[in-house]
C-alpha cells in the first residue's frame, strides 16, 4: 500500500505537466458543446469504461442531453461488464463506430496505455469526416503527436503491477476527463459559483441538494428556498434568478432567455 500511494503521487505530477494540453482539450470540448454538436468518447478496456462513466455522469450533474456526449466501447455494451481483450485490436470497429460522426462533432480517443487500433481507427475516421479530435493517453511515445488535434499525454511512469493501466494510468485518465468536461461545462454556464444549476433532481437526495443550492445561492432559509423553487416550477436556474432579482417567474424566464440561459449574465443585466 505504501508503495502504491508513493507511486500515485506521480499522477498529480503528470496532470500538472499536462495542464496546457488539458486546457486546450477543455476549450475544444466547450466549443463543440456551444456549437450544439456531439462529443463521442472511444475507448477499450479500462479506458472504455472510464469513457462510459464520464458520459453517464454528465446528465445528472449538468442536466445535459445524453445524446450530446456518447461513449463507444470496443466490444460493445457487454464489454463494460466483462473484459473482451481482443476487441481493442479491431481497427475496423473503431472506424465503423465513427461513421455516425458528423463534421463539427468531437471524437475523444481514450487510451490509457498505447493507442489501440480501435481508438486509432475512430480518430482517423473522425478526421476524414471533418470532426475535431482529442486523444488522452498515458503513452510516452511521440508517435501519438499527430493522431489528434489535441493530445493530452499523461506520463505517470511504469505501473507497480507492470502493464496494469487500471492503476496510475487509469486514475490520471479519469482525473483528466473530470477536468476537461467540468471546466468546459462550467465555463459554458452550467455552474454558478460552486453550484450545479442544471442538475436533475430525480431522487430525494438530489431534491434536497437542489433546495440547499437555492438557499445558499440566494442566502435564504430552507423553507423559503422550497417555496421559491416551487414558484420556479422546479427550475433551479430560474429559482436562483428569481431569488437574486426578486422577479416573478415569467419575468425571470424572459430575462434568462434574453441572456441565452446564462445565469450570470441575466443577474448582471438586472443590476444595470
pLDDT in tens, 156-171: 998 889 888 889 999 9
What confidence score (pLDDT) does residue 224 get? 96
| Bigger pLDDT: 200 vs 56 | 56
What confidence score (pLDDT) does residue 98 get? 97
164 and 203 part of one domain: no
Number of domains in the chain: 2
209 and 103 part of one domain: no
166 and 263 part of one domain: no
CA distance 33 to 43: 20
Of 16, 17, 22, 15, nearest to 180 by C-alpha is 22
205 and 114 part of one domain: no
Of 137, 164, 190, the one marking the end of a domain is: 190
Residue 50 backbone dihedrals phi, psi, to 5 degrees: -65, -35
146 and 206 part of one domain: no
Q: pLDDT, tens digit, for every residue of 67-96?
A: 999 999 999 999 899 888 888 889 999 999
pTM here?
Answer: 0.91
185 and 148 part of one domain: yes
Q: What CATH number corresponds to the domain at position 115?
A: 3.40.50.10490
76 and 208 part of one domain: no
Of 166, 183, 176, nearest to 109 by C-alpha is 176
For 83, which DSSP code?
A: -
Q: What CATH number corresponds to the domain at position 255?
A: 1.10.8.1080
Q: pLDDT, tens digit, for every residue of 200-238?
A: 888 899 899 999 999 999 999 999 999 999 999 999 999
CA distance 37 to 69: 9
Residue numbers annotated as active site: 57, 88
149 and 183 part of one domain: yes
159 and 260 part of one domain: no
Of 190, 210, 231, the one marking the end of a domain is: 190
8 and 97 part of one domain: yes
Partners of 151 in beta bridges: 135
Of 168, 190, 212, the one marking the end of a domain is: 190
Domain of residue 145: give its range: 2-190
Q: pLDDT, tens digit, for every residue of 121-151?
A: 999 999 999 999 999 999 877 778 889 999 9
37 and 165 part of one domain: yes
Amino acid at each position: 500500500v505504501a508503495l502504491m500511494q508513493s507511486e500515485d503521487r506521480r499522477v498529480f505530477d503528470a496532470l500538472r505537466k499536462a495542464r496546457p494540453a488539458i486546457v486546450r482539450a477543455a476549450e475544444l470540448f466547450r466549443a463543440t458543446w456551444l456549437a450544439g454538436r456531439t462529443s463521442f468518447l472511444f475507448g477499450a478496456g479500462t479506458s472504455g469504461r472510464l469513457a462510459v462513466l464520464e458520459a453517464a455522469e454528465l446528465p445528472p450533474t449538468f442536466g445535459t442531453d445524453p445524446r450530446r456526449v456518447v461513449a463507444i466501447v470496443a466490444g460493445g455494451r457487454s464489454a463494460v461488464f466483462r473484459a473482451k481483450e481482443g476487441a481493442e485490436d479491431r481497427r475496423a470497429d473503431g472506424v465503423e463506430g465513427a461513421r455516425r460522426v458528423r463534421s463539427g462533432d468531437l471524437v475523444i480517443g481514450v487510451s490509457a496505455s498505447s493507442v489501440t487500433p480501435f481508438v486509432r481507427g475512430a480518430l482517423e475516421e473522425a478526421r476524414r469526416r471533418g470532426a475535431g479530435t482529442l486523444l488522452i493517453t498515458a503513452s510516452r511515445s511521440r508517435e501519438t503527436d499527430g493522431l489528434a488535434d489535441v493530445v493530452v499525454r499523461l506520463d505517470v511512469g511504469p505501473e507497480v503491477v507492470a502493464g496494469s493501466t487500471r492503476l496510475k494510468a487509469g486514475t490520471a485518465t479519469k482525473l483528466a476527463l473530470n477536468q476537461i468536461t467540468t471546466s468546459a461545462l462550467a465555463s459554458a454556464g452550467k455552474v454558478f459559483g460552486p453550484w450545479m444549476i442544471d442538475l436533475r433532481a430525480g431522487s430525494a437526495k438530489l431534491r434536497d441538494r437542489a433546495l440547499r443550492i437555492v438557499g445558499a445561492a440566494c442566502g435564504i432559509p430552507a423553507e423559503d428556498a422550497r417555496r421559491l423553487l416551487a414558484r420556479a416550477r422546479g427550475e433551479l436556474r430560474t429559482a436562483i434568478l428569481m431569488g437574486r432579482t426578486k422577479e416573478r417567474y415569467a419575468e425571470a424566464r424572459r430575462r434568462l432567455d434574453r441572456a441565452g440561459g446564462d445565469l450570470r449574465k441575466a443577474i448582471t443585466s438586472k443590476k444595470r
